[in-house]
Amino acid sequence: MSPATRQRLREAMQRLFTGVPQHTDGTLTKNNLWREARGSRATMNRATDILAEWDAHVSESPRRRRRPSPR
């Protein structure tokens, strides 16, 4: 994986964690991570260290819950 791709994933992760997504609805899901990074799911899955950071952060985050559905 190229350094540029790793950087895009890290930047996307930071945007999602801080609540300022550019390309997704901001829900903390792995689908949104690769979409926010403008990459592919397969590429994201090869970044095991980044995914480990993601999992650690999301498991502790109150934002991990999905937005409530409209009634």
pLDDT tens for each residue of the chain, 71 residues long: 899 999 999 999 999 999 999 999 999 999 999 999 999 999 999 999 999 999 999 887 665 545 544 55
Q: In this structure, which amino acid lies at residue 37?
A: A
In 3D space, the residue among 22, 48, 25 whose CA is nearest the CA of residue 37 turns out to be 22
Q: In this structure, which amino acid lies at residue 44?
A: M
Residues 6+ apart with CB under 8 A from 71: none
CA distances in angstroms from 68 to 9, 18, 29, 49, 63, listed in the order given? 27, 19, 15, 30, 12
Q: Is this model's pTM higher than 0.85 or not?
A: no
